[in-house]
Structure 1
Amino acid sequence: MSLFGVELDFNNVVAIVSVTIPVLAFVWEFVVIRRKRLGYRFQMDVLATDSTHAPSAAVLSQLQGRNGLLNEPSFVLVRVENAGWRPIEASDYLAPPTSDTGIHVLFKDRRVVGMAVTELSHPVLGPFFVTVHGDVAQETPGFGMGAQNGAGLIRLPRVTLNPGAHYKVLAVLERSSGIPNTPFPAPEFQADLIGGEGPPFAWSRWFARLKPARTEAHTFASRPALAFIGLLAVAVLLQAGLTLFWPARPAPLDCVGGTLRLQGSTAFAPAVTEAAKEYARLCEAKGAKVVADEGSFQGSGEGIAALEKAGADAGISGTEGLGDRVSFTDGPADGSHPQVLPRPIAYSLFTLVVNQDAKVRSLTLQQIRDIYALKITNWSDVGGADLPIHLVDRHRGSGTRGALEQRVLKGRSVPEAGVDDCAQLDRNKPGVCEVDSTGTLLERTASIPGALGYSEAGSVTTGGLVKLRIDDMPPTLEGVEDGTYPYWQTEYAYTYGEPPADSIAAAFLRYLTDQGGKDILREYGNRPCSETEYPLVCTPT
């Protein structure tokens, strides 16, 4: 995933979220809801006749009003505070301009008998509630008690409150309606703020105009802020877990992204395909993808033809090179190909394979040449079973076939096919057929009694086949290097022109020859050219 041209992996996204969440929480908590925030809290709302009180509290149930004993007397203590970070001024209260009252507190089914301001955060708040004229103290016009729609009412004035300032009001009430000895409905706090800026900044009023917030003692943060903090904790734990248990693997410095297409030799395909998968995995963070599957590898000759066509279609000319295609061949490509450039990659080990029903495990070099010259046509002639020899060959242009003709048959061609399909061979007579890939050759050789074929040694995993020894020498790299085993070939990588140094084709070739790719080639029975005495020649020493 990319953002503004920057590649992001999952860890990057979690890190961004981890930073964004606390920023949003801060903005919400201290810029939005705390711009102007009128908070309130009912710190007490209890019956004076609560049965859990001690006997000495019985006097509370005998509170007197103007009309005698109070009916189910109760006490309410309400705290009003500025819970924001800007001052609340008298003009901020939503009320008619002529009214001195900014807050109403309603008590359904109760009547307010008396009240008093019991605590002020600063004495300067006192005149908002009581004024003294001469020796007479009286409540301010905005402060008082009464009734509204049958409910008890406390009116609180438009008190100017600095951030953190508060006051408390204690009220005594009695039941005025409702079912006796049942709980009273919760008190209702009615107030609102307007705040905001003038017309040029009307858009900002939503920051300031907020409903009063019910607060709690020792409040840590608002619910939205707590949600943000919870998300932050989850993000941090997730990122920590990924770091500990799934550490990010940054792409190596020499990785190049893009899509690379590989083609060519079917014999060399398994090793190259595995190396391509590993390169794509290592360079995934750079966006590297490699198209390399069975459909991509149709043979050495077909690979060269496809590479030349791709270069021509792309209009490559001059010193330019195609940077997204590589074709592999077993040995140098046949014919003249002036636009493509070879690079030796490794030398590969090949083997003759025979159907196990032939009862043959070793042939001399001369016997092999006689078989392909059709001088020997039955396995019994070389000490094997009485079965006709069926030659399963690759199509012309195959590098594996070319290596057999060059290194084992002394430059002589294999015989031409007598049928179009190996299934058409007469099982009772010797014959020759051709197939288009190493995999198909191995399958046909394993299924036809008396069949003889050839392939890259590491590809022989099919049951029912025997790797033939040549002059009693098994197919090994050691035999190739000491000159006792003849069937091998140098594998070449071809590019259309010189690929740009920063292209994925050039990067993959570097990986294949000088980095981890050569270990994969070795696993498949190949000898990387970088391990030979003359890498640019890449022949056994």
Structure 2
Amino acid sequence: MSGLSWESMVAALGLAIPVGAAMWEFGFAGRKRLGYRVQMDTTAKNADTHPHAGVLRQMQQNGTSLLDPSFVLLRIQNSGWTHIDANDYVVRDDDQVGIRINFPGRHVDGMVVTELSHDYLRPCFDDAAGLRMADGQIELPRVPLNRGTHYKVLAVLERDPDFPTGQDFPDPVVVAGIKGGVRGGRIKKTESHTFASRPVMVFIALLVLVAAAQSFTSFTRDDAPAQAAPVDCAAGTLTLSGSTAFRAAVADAAKRYVKKCTDARITITDDTFKGSVAGLDSLEAAGKKRAETTTEEAADTNAGAGGPGLPDRLAFTDGAKGDGRPRLLPRPVALSLFTLAVNKDTGVQDLSLKQLRQIYSGDITNWRQVNGNDVPIHLVSRHPGSGTRSTLVQQVLAGKELLEVTSGDCASMDRGRPGRCEVGDTATLLDNVASIPGALGHSEAGAALTHEGVQQVRISGYPATVEGADAGAYPYWQTEFAYTYGEPPADSVAAGFLRYLTEGAGKDSLPVHGHRPCSELEKPLLCRPAD
């Protein structure tokens, strides 16, 4: 028992309960079972307020009016899972009576079978044998009952003279037995359930408790590896840099990685995430510095001489690197969707490619020129080197660069005149778009979607979706790459985190922030929309 964990015990209990319920229902409880239900037991006096109650009080027996008549409706049913035959009743072979019903404090003045679940039961009551009434007792025949069948008996009774007037009558006493039935075969009083029987409710309650216990153990257990670390875990400190548009997704995956791999540390700061080009610059500078500070012999086996790469650095970019960085090796990670975002007072939600190119070239300077509000257009852009900016230029503006900056500080832009300013990161850009009247900016789609005060702009009627990019209708997208300096050692923290992000559970962080993992695309190595 020492090796049996709490979670295993809860899981075993969760399996045992439904198995036990099935055995109960189809094994024990499913045996022959005869049941009855008292569906009505009332006196004529209880109906005094009814306009026709006098009819009930005027009922007679042998020409004499009943003094205190009462009425009982009983339902006899097969409430088990197997049929009941006439020979299954526990009586003498020569006794035609299968069920006897007594009414303490009352005697029977009349009875009738009022309902049969199936017409084939009627012949069982045509013969007088076994269907009798005597004083305070009703005798019913040995009726064969298939599973779920029933019949009803209505009895008219009179209060015994020696029973106290005004006192409630005791419940009817039903006496019957079935061979091989549940609980010795005694007939059982059943109830009408709108949801489930009491045993089923108990089983449901137990299952809820087991589910709650499993949830509690899932939330409170320590997910850290108990002994050997997973394959993608590695020890060391990893520095990440690059695209601000991809930072949130990477930071989320990094947080999950260090929680799982307790010997790893990952550094993410504003100083490292300043843009795609800045990330590549810092990665290349770190690699060269490492090569310069080693001895000549060590350098021969380092990335600087084509050997193993940096084990502790990764850079993320919106799009592929340019020429001139031969030692930086790419790995596609995700397909990112970018979007144009405007201040909500612009009055526009859709712009054509032609209109966008005219806006960024300065030919259109007021939103009323594109059927928007009478507000000057203020362009808020990223600094050169930003992946979202370079993708905007290449894939939306057909390679034409943005017009000149008119203000070095977005907050101090002349609100009455059109102009353009630049910022260093996505969050700052969206904050400025939300606060500057008539502002238009660009960012990754996930960030714009959740930022209050800005509104995404469709391009030629198409929103930022993977489906639109796949169809070739939406142009503003880019492949996110992870870059290493040389090939990092397989057991390094850089290689471990990269595997985690592209092949392991880390890729689950990407869709949350609006990115599509390359592994989900038709051509993962190219990581681009379908042709």
TM norm structure 2 = 0.55
The percentage of aligned residue pairs carrying the same residue is 54
Query: Is 1:311 matched with 2:300?
Result: no
Residue of structure 2 equivalent to 1:289: 265
Please list the CA deviations of residues 230-286 of structure 1 after superposition, one character each: whole Å capped at 9, or x if unmatched.
xxxxxxxxxxx99996356313233111111100000000001101111111111xx
Task: Tell me how many residue pairs correspond in the alignment.
Answer: 300
Is the counterpart of residue 253 in structure 1 residue 231 in structure 2? yes
What's 1:422 paired with? 410
Change (3 A) 1:248 1:521: closer
Query: For 1:33-182, what aligned pairs fall within 5 Å after superposition?
Result: none
Equivalence for 1:523: 512
Q: CA distance change for structure 1 residues 384 and 256 in 2, over 3 Å: closer, same or farther?
A: same
CA 243–263 in structure 1, closer or farther in 2 if over 3 Å, else same: closer
Render the CA deviation track for 1:396-454: whole Å, top value 9, x for unaligned.
Answer: 11100011011111111112212211123111110011111111111111110001000
Aligned: 1:407 with 2:385: no
Contact 1:356 1:465 in 2 (8 A): yes
Residue 16 of structure 1 corresponds to which residue in structure 2? none
| Aligned with 2:384 (options 386, 389, 396) | 396
Equivalent residue number for residue 449 of structure 1: 437
Query: Corresponding residue for 2:114?
Result: none
What amino acid is the match of 1:380? R
CA distance in 1, matches of 2:218, 2:478: 46
| CA 245–497 in structure 1, closer or farther in 2 if over 3 Å, else same | closer
Select 1:329's aligned residue among 317, 321, 327. 317
Aligned partners of 1:352 and 1:402: how far apart in 2? 14
Query: Contact 1:301/1:334 (CA < 8 Å) preserved in 2?
Result: no
Equivalent position amino acid for 1:427 in 2: R
RMSD: 2.0
Shift of 1:320: 2.3
Does the Cα contact within 8 Å between 1:388 and 1:450 map onto a contact in 2? Answer: yes
Note the 1:115-514 alignment, pairs <5 A: 246-247=221-222, 249-250=224-225, 251-284=229-262, 287-315=263-291, 316-318=303-305, 319-460=307-448, 461-514=450-503
Task: Using the TM superposition, give the Cα deviation of residue 344 of structure 1 relative to its aligned residue in structure 2, in angstroms.
Answer: 0.9
* Rounded Cα–Cα distance in structure 2 between residues aligned with 1:351 and 1:248: 37
Which letter maps to 1:293?
T
1:365 Cα deviation from its structure 2 partner: 1.3
**Mapped partners of 2:219, 2:396: distance in 1:** 56
Give a deviation string over 1:41-95, Cα, whole Å, max 9, x none. xxxxxxxxxxxxxxxxxxxxxxxxxxxxxxxxxxxxxxxxxxxxxxxxxxxxxxx
| 1:309-344 deviation per Cα after TM superposition (whole angstroms, max 9, x unaligned) | 111111141222001000000001234211211111
- Structure number with larger C-alpha Rg: 1
Distance of 1:379 and 1:524 partners within structure 2: 30
Matches of 2:377 and 2:258, distance apart in 1: 44
Residues 540 and 277 (structure 1), Cα distance of their counterparts in 2 relative to 1, 3 Å cut:
same
Letter in 2 for 1:401: R
Partners of 2:436 and 2:333 in 1: CA distance: 34
The Cα offsets for residues 480-524 of structure 1, whole Å up to 9 and x where unpaired, read as: 122221110000111111111111101111111111111111221
Give, in whole Å, the separation in 2 of the partners of 1:242 and 1:467.
42
Q: Which runs of 5+ in 2 are unaligned?
A: 1-215, 292-302
Q: Which residue of 1 aligns with 2:130?
A: none
TM-score w.r.t. length of structure 1: 0.54
Structure 1 residue 294, shift from structure 2 partner: 3.4
Alpha-carbon offset, residue 538 of structure 1: 1.0
Task: Give the Cα separation in 1 of the matches to 2:275 and 2:244.
Answer: 5
Q: Which amino acid aligns with 1:500?
A: P
* Distance verdict in 2 for CA 1:257–1:385, change over 3 Å: same
Determine if contact 1:346/1:526 at 8 Å carries over to the other structure: yes
Q: How many Å apart are 1:535 and its aligned residue? A: 1.7
Which amino acid in the other structure matches residue 382 of structure 1?
V
| Match of residue 213 from structure 1 | none
Preserved contact between residue 273 and residue 293 of structure 1 (Cα < 8 Å): no
| Preserved CA contact (<8 Å) 2:232 2:497 | no
